[in-house]
Amino acid sequence: MDDERDQTLMRRALAQAEAALTKRQAPFGAVVVDRSGEVLGEGHNTVRADRDPSAHGEVVAIRAALRRLESGRLPPGTTLYTSCEPCLMCAVVIAQLGIGRVVYAARGTDVPGAKRLLDADLSQAAPWVNAEPGWTPIELRGDLLREEALRSLAAFDWG
């Protein structure tokens, strides 16, 4: 996957995080793209607005993609770009759907006050998935434009 495309699509995920900030939502954004880089769905965290604890940016973007696709499933070769490393809840969704590549900016440990189940995020869960037959291996690229994601995280009132 070429670096320029990764950067462009990560900027789009970061723009979603910024859009969340302006709506007083937690600054997490995500974009789902197919093999060719076409955007299938995007969105940002709406946990507070929707009073939906599962409405993480990744889940919102994946829901948008699945609703748009007639097959109701993500095509092979799907990549998820997210402004922050996916948590374990999102990791389950990613693994169940067979998303084979995830690119993230900030790390899970960068989130102020984050409560991380099993002290883990996707980078701890992916090796288990990748060693398990019958699951789609997950290729990870972390820390892409991390500094920009950190700025959004710092701008949010976590209280």
**Residue 148: CB minimum distance to Zn ion, A:** 19
In 10 A of CB 51, how many CB atoms? 8
Among 47, 90, 95, 144, binds Zn ion (CB under 5 A): 90
Scanning 2-10, 16-24, 51-59, 70-78 for contacts with Zn ion by CB under 5 A, the matching segment is 51-59
Instruction: State the DSSP string of 77-105.
Output: T-EEEEEE---HHHHHHHHHHT--EEEEE
| Catalytic-labelled residue, pool 18, 38, 42, 58 | 58
Scanning 31-39, 88-96, 127-135, 151-159 for contacts with Zn ion by CB under 5 A, the matching segment is 88-96
Interaction of residue 56 with Zn ion, rule CB under 5 A: yes
- Between 8 and 96, name the residue whose CB sits nearer to Zn ion: 96
- Between 89 and 114, name the residue whose CB sits nearer to Zn ion: 89
Interaction of residue 101 with Zn ion, rule CB under 5 A: no
Interaction of residue 87 with Zn ion, rule CB under 5 A: yes
Rounded Cα distance between 124 and 114, Å, is 16
Scanning 18-26, 72-80, 90-98, 142-150 for contacts with Zn ion by CB under 5 A, the matching segment is 90-98
- If you ran DSSP here, which 8-state letter would residue 135 be given? S
Rounded Cα distance between 42 and 51, Å, is 19
Rounded Cα distance between 99 and 106, Å, is 19
> Helix, strand, coil shares of the chain as percentages rounded to 5?
45, 15, 40
- Between 5 and 150, name the residue whose CB sits nearer to Zn ion: 150
* 42 in active site: no
Count of positions on this chain that bind Zn ion (CB under 5 A)? 4
Closest CA to 91 of 63, 124, 65: 124
Catalytic residues: 58
Binding site for Zn ion (CB under 5 A): 56, 87, 89-90
